Structure 1
Amino acid sequence: MLNVGMYIFRYASLRSDPLRGCISLHHSPIGKGSVDFFPGEGISRNTLTKQGDCVIVRVKGSQASVLITEYHPEGGTPNSVQLQIEQIGTAAKTEPRQHAGKAVQLEAFEAPRPCSLKLLGHIETRGDVTVENTWLGNPNSLLRLEGFSIAWDNQPQGLDLAYLCRSSKGGEPQVGLAGQYVGTRRQAKPVTAVAFTLSGPQAGNYELSGEVVFAGHSPLAIAPDKELSGKSGTEQLVAIRIVITPRAAQASPPASPWDDLKTTKIFSNR
C-alpha cells in the first residue's frame, strides 16, 4: 500500500545467477487511488529481470497498492531476488535511515565540485547532440529541444536524478532516471514543461541547480521538484543546463525521503 506520490521500484539483486527470478508489477484492486507505471528503457510489461532495471510508479488521488509478483524458473533460488522501493522527493532532515544493514553515511566535501554530467538531446534540424557540463541547446535559439537524457560518469552511490517532460500543455508526462531518454525524436513535437529532482539516501548531501529556456523567454532557474514551463505553457523548450554539486559537510546527515511520507512531494505545481 502506497501513499500519493512517486516511487522507484528497482531490481537490486547483485547475483549473476542465470536462474535468478524476475519481478512483475501490477495495479492491485486494494485502495481508492490510481497507479501509473513508467518503465525504464528496455523494460517490457513492467517486469524487472536484471540488476538496475527500474519502473517509476505514480500514485494519484488516494492511497493505492501495487501487486508485486515474483517468478522463479525451475531450479532457481527463491532468495535470489531483491527489490528496492524508494519514494522520490525531498523531506526534512531527521536521523539517518538504516538500509540493508548499513547506516547512511555522510561524505565530507572540503571543496565541493560539480558532478560531471553528460547531456544528450535531439534538436530540431541538428539531430542528436551530446554536451558535457554546459548548455544543451542554444538559449538564444528557437530550435526545438524535442527530447533529452542526462547521465554522469562516476555516479555517486545512493544518489539518482529523476526528470520529467511534457510534450503538450496538460499532457501526460514522461519520467526518466539518469541515463534514460524522455521526449521524442523526429516527430516535430515540442517539450513544453520539464521538472528535475534528486533522489536516494544521499540526495540531501547534494544540491541541484541550473536553468532551462523556453522559446522567447529568459532563462528559468531550476528548483528541485518544481515543474517549469513558458508563460502560456505552450512555448517550446530550447535549452537546458544542469548542475549537481556536493554540499559542504554537515553535522548530521539528512534522512531518506522514504522516512516522512507526509512531507514528501515531487513535481508540484507552481
Structure 2
Amino acid sequence: MSRIRLLLPSALLAGGCVAPGLKYIDPPPVTTTTGDSSTGDDGSTSIMTTTESSGGEGTASTEGASDGSQSTTTGTDSSSGVDTTTTGTTGAAKPVCGDGIVEGDEECDDANDIADDRCDGCTKNRWIFATAAFHNDGDIGGIEGADSRCRQYALQSGKADDTWKSFIAWLSDADHDVRDRLYPGRGRYVRTDGVVVAKTVEQFFSGALEAPINVDEHGNQDIGGGVLTGTKPDGTAAPGTHCDNWTSSSLSDHSAYEGNASSITQTWTMFPDDPPLPCTALSARLYCIEGE
C-alpha cells in the first residue's frame, strides 16, 4: 500500500496532470540573439540585433550608429516580460578639425583658427606667384621645362618649404589643358604677400580673380608685365601651335598667347580678341601655382 502512494505522483505527472498541492513552474525562456551589420557611406558600421525567446516573439530596435558612435538594441520577450539590451560601439569617429590630427578629407590640421596661415579650416592655402624672371622667347623647354622653372623659383623663395616639387606653371600647349594639370585642392590660392587670389581652384576657370597675380615669389608687389600662358579663361588651351609646344624661338612662328599680371578679369590669362605674339623677343613671366 505504501508502494502505491509513492508511485502515484510520478504517474500523474507523466500523464500531464499536476498532483493537488503541487505547483508547476515554467522553465526559463531560452533567448537567442542574432545580428546583421551594414556599412554606411561614411565607413561607419551599424549592427541590428534581433532577440527571440521560446514562448514569445522578440522585438528589436537599433539606435545611434549612423555616426559610427554607438548602437543599442533592445528586445522584449512577450511571454515572460524579460527585457534584453545589447549595446556596442562600431565604426570610426568623424574627423575633428582643430585637433591637430590630419584625417579623413582634411588637407591639414594645425590646431588653430588663424585664417591667414598655411592651413585654413583644415584646407591648405596654396602659394601662387608671377615669376620675377622674364623669359625672352617661346623656347622654355616645353611644359616640363616651365614646370621645372617654377619649382626652382619656389625653392629659391624659401616660402614653399617641402612643397616646392609640386609647383606647376599656368601653361597649356597643343596637347595639354592647364585645367587638367592643376591639383584639385580644396583650399584657397594665396599670393606670397598673403593676399587671396582665388577661393577655390574652380575660380581660375571663371574669368575673374579676387586679386591680380602681380606679386613674385619673393613677395615683391605690383610687378606687372606680360605672362606666357597659352590658356583661355576657361583653363583650356588657346588655338595654335604654342611656339611648337614651347620649344621654338622662330621669328616666323606667331603662336604665343600672353596674359596680364595686373588684371583680375579674363585678361589675366589671355586677351581673347588679340592675335598671338611672335615666338621671339617675348619678355614675359610665368604664373606658378602650388599643387598637392
Give me the TM-score of the superposition, normalised by structure 2: 0.24
Give me the TM-score of the superposition, normalised by structure 1: 0.26
Q: Which has the higher contact order (CA 8 A, sep 6+)?
A: 1
Q: Which has the higher strand share?
A: 1
For the pair shown, which has the larger CA radius of gyration, 1 or 2? 2
